[in-house]
Amino acid sequence: MKKNDTGFIIEGKGAYLHIIFYGENIVRFAYSKDKNVPSSTVAVVGKPVEAGESFKSNRLLAGNFQIEVEREKLTVKVFDRSGRLLNEDLKVNAKKPGVEKKRLSETGFYGNGEKYTWLNQLGYSTVNYNSDVLHHNPIHHPQVQEMHTAIPFYIGASPDFAYGIYFDNSYRTEFDFAKSDSNVISFQAAGGYLDYYFMHGSTVADVVSAYGLLTGTPPLPRKKYLGFHQSRYSYQSGEELLTVADQLRRHDIPCDVLYLDIDYTEAYKVFTVDNERFKGFKKMIGNLKEMGFAVVVIINPGVKVEEGYRVYEEGKENNYFVTTPSGEIYQGEVWPKPAAFPDFLRSEVRHWWGELHRELLACGVDGIWNDMNEPANFTEKSGTLPDEAVHLGDNGIVFSHAEAHNIYGLMQARATREALEQLQPEKRPFVLTRAAFAGSQRYAALWTGDNSSVWEHLECSIPMILNLGLSGYSFVGADVGGYRGDCSGELLVRWTQLGAFIPYFRNHSEIGTARQEPWEFSNEVLDIVRKYIRLRYNFLTYIYNLMRESTLTGAPAVRPLLYHYDDEPDAYHISDQFLLGEGLMVCPVTRPGITHRQVYLPRGQWFDYWTGENLNGNRYLTVESPLGKLPLFIRAGTILPIDDHIYSDHNRGAQTALTMHCYAGKDGLYRLYLDDGTSFNYRQEQYSELEIILKDDPVQPAVKTNIIKDNFPIPEIKYIIHHRPGQ
């Protein structure tokens, strides 16, 4: 083993292994045919560090690791600093990049982005290849492993240890979590290098934050976008959209964001607007803005191949499109029929694409939705571009589509976000994407694409979102009510109750299905749906603060139980309830007709959110859950900021009051972050931060607030202490 500029290098039989540290808890193992370190994908933003090495017998001691390498085969064993074995290779294949690892005592495997699985993926295998799931039919089905995202990152966890492995390879990858062989974990790629990062922490939370250091954390969203969104494929005219806006206000349903899906364009041509059905586009958007709505429009990558169409002509003239191996523009088919695909891998192309948004933004469009960016393509059996299509990156670097495929959507989202930062510098951009790779969380929010209005998809959206959270994605959600098929009133109620506690909260449905806006069902449904959308707005400051935490540490807002209770065996498996932040347990109803459900409360004391009843944890209980009720529990020691006013934009103004609900029974600490919710001024320290301390006491619990930073008006704060019985 030799030390060089970046780290350590070992020559084995027919391959080299590079060991490079990216932090005390992050070590990279990169295999190559020669002495050069393979280049990283765009996912990696972490930088190598000096880890202070020493050697003890055959082990390298550096960072928080001890590492042993078998000299010929280049298999590795990773130990923590105290010598506990964390990971052990059985077989390394540097040529057909892949590795087999021994399964140690991991209780579960998590992460892997958007997956149709239960929370724990032990015993599953999966494929990471961005895919328009609709193309596979059936959608969201256990046998369909290719989903809209490809995030080759997993966490292995047990009560004894936790680690993460990020396989930095943008080709199609396959992972097997002890499915083929109950003692073996393996992963491999269709091309490129065996180049992966091993992350260690004492908890799953530490691993997630190491992953955040390596691939970036999400940006702070605008508070507005944490409100309720209403969408449909498609609102077909300006009048229709205004009617929806009117109805929302008339029914007293707070809502901040409305969507225009593909039908606002002229013949599905990106960056055009159908001037007949959307006559007076700018004025319409202005009216909506006045009513407090932001309008988000869809922009797909596929550019219609049509003589004289500006976007196509410019792209063609400047060689901005993906080509065939012989250099012709690759022509596929998406909504506009014949389509060419912008080559987002090149910065020049991203700038061009970004500039194309200028006119839409000048019309008042506020956010951009990138759909079909796997990219979807109807002419190939694969549903995407052929492997041999050619991309050209910066500095003349050529990529086959096989290599570029999984980062294509990331690069479109990046182009879009960078454009919005340029073109509307006064507000934080909103970009929504369907396809994603590791690192996409730096650019866009994500929704889980095409699901159906069936109970099974409501249920599966929970572990899907939890695993996305463990994969770096905090600003994420599923289409509330389901996209395909007809939603029933009952399903919409249950899905809205769930959605109200998920960061990205949008009701969306497919063309040709039953209308799915809250007032399309019975008055009972309308009342309950309204109640929960309003409840969402009561939790806005709380959720906003969680998103702030995500930007700082990579912690997802929505967390599986094991995130905070990794010493409780059931926490490794529970897929139908979750924590929003640390102290709020959300227990959605995922089956029809149910009036009770089983809830697991981890150790400690808990409060029923609705009744204030005090409950002992570390047990299962059966709770009532009639249609109007979403079971919610708060852990003792939690401090919950509640917005008593509904600050949807039509009556937003400044936040003047806030109530701190303090749940006694345990000491608690909460950091409250306040800023304008919109601009980048917080980067110039224009924010306030308070530290609220709950000191528990059997007779008289007390609360104290320290102002840590006072650069933004602090609202009037009320305190309510929720006592334990006997107090």
Catalytic residue ranges? 371, 374, 450
Out of 298, 500, 571, 674, which residue is the one contacting ligand MIG (CB under 6 A)? 298
Question: Does residue number 108 form part of the binding site for ligand MIG (CB under 6 A)?
Answer: no
Out of 193, 198, 225, 233, which residue is the one contacting ligand MIG (CB under 6 A)? 233
Question: Does residue number 261 form part of the binding site for ligand MIG (CB under 6 A)?
Answer: yes
Residue 214's contacts (CB-CB under 8 Å, 6 or more residues apart) are 22, 23, 26, 44, 45, 46, 166, 197, 199
Question: CB-wise, 89 or 263, nearer to ligand MIG?
Answer: 263
Give the residue carrying structure tokens 């429009």.
Answer: 297
Question: Residue 147 Cβ, how far from ligand MIG at the closest point, in Å?
Answer: 12
Question: Residue 308 Cβ, how far from ligand MIG at the closest point, in Å?
Answer: 25
Residue 131's contacts (CB-CB under 8 Å, 6 or more residues apart) are 146, 147, 148, 374, 383, 384
Q: Could you give the CA distance from residue 403 to residue 41 in angstroms, rounded to a whole number? A: 10
Question: Does residue number 409 form part of the binding site for ligand MIG (CB under 6 A)?
Answer: no
Which residue type, as a one-letter code, is found at position 362? A
Out of 450, 566, 675, 696, which residue is the one contacting ligand MIG (CB under 6 A)? 450
Question: Residue 128 Cβ, how far from ligand MIG at the closest point, in Å?
Answer: 19
Question: Does residue number 114 form part of the binding site for ligand MIG (CB under 6 A)?
Answer: no
Q: By the 8 A CB rule, do 346 and 393 touch?
A: yes
Chain residue at closest Cβ approach to ligand MIG = 233
Out of 23, 449, 581, 637, which residue is the one contacting ligand MIG (CB under 6 A)? 449
Out of 74, 205, 262, 599, which residue is the one contacting ligand MIG (CB under 6 A)? 262
Question: Does residue number 649 form part of the binding site for ligand MIG (CB under 6 A)?
Answer: no
Question: Burial, 289: exposed, middle or buried (Cβ in 10 Å; 0-12, 13-18, 19+)?
Answer: middle
Question: Does residue number 146 form part of the binding site for ligand MIG (CB under 6 A)?
Answer: no
Question: Does residue number 274 form part of the binding site for ligand MIG (CB under 6 A)?
Answer: no
Question: CB-wise, 171 or 447, nearer to ligand MIG?
Answer: 447
Look up residue 318 and give its two tokens: 């400047």
Q: By the 8 A CB rule, do 657 and 715 touch?
A: yes
Q: Could you give the CA distance from residue 165 to residue 299 in angstroms, rounded to a whole number? A: 33
Question: CB-wise, 136 or 652, nearer to ligand MIG?
Answer: 136
Residue 668's contacts (CB-CB under 8 Å, 6 or more residues apart) are 637, 638, 639, 662, 692, 693, 694, 696
Question: CB-wise, 65 or 233, nearer to ligand MIG?
Answer: 233
Residue 611's contacts (CB-CB under 8 Å, 6 or more residues apart) are none
Question: N- to C-terminal Cα distance for the chain?
Answer: 64
Question: CB-wise, 131 or 145, nearer to ligand MIG?
Answer: 131
For the window 480-519, what string marks contact with ligand MIG as x by the rule CB under 6 A? Answer: ---x------------------------x-----------
Question: Does residue number 291 form part of the binding site for ligand MIG (CB under 6 A)?
Answer: no
* Sign of the alpha-carbon torsion through 590, 594, 595, 601: negative
Question: Residue 35 Cβ, how far from ligand MIG at the closest point, in Å?
Answer: 45
Question: CB-wise, 284 or 372, nearer to ligand MIG?
Answer: 372
Residue 315's contacts (CB-CB under 8 Å, 6 or more residues apart) are 303, 321, 340, 342, 352
Question: Residue 680 Cβ, how far from ligand MIG at the closest point, in Å?
Answer: 29
Question: Does residue number 694 form part of the binding site for ligand MIG (CB under 6 A)?
Answer: no
CA dihedral 319, 325, 326, 332 (to 10 degrees): -70
Question: CB-wise, 298 or 411, nearer to ligand MIG?
Answer: 298
Among residue numbers 357 through 386, which ones bind ligand MIG (CB under 6 A)? 371-372
Question: Residue 266 Cβ, how far from ligand MIG at the closest point, in Å?
Answer: 15
Give the residue carrying structure tokens 């790779």.
Answer: 437
Q: How many residues bind ligand MIG (CB under 6 A)?
A: 12
Classify strands 59-62 and 65-69 as parallel, antiparallel or unpaired: antiparallel
Give the residue carrying structure tokens 């080709």.
Answer: 171
Note the residues at the interface with ligand MIG (CB under 6 A).
134, 233, 261-262, 298, 371-372, 434, 449-450, 483, 508
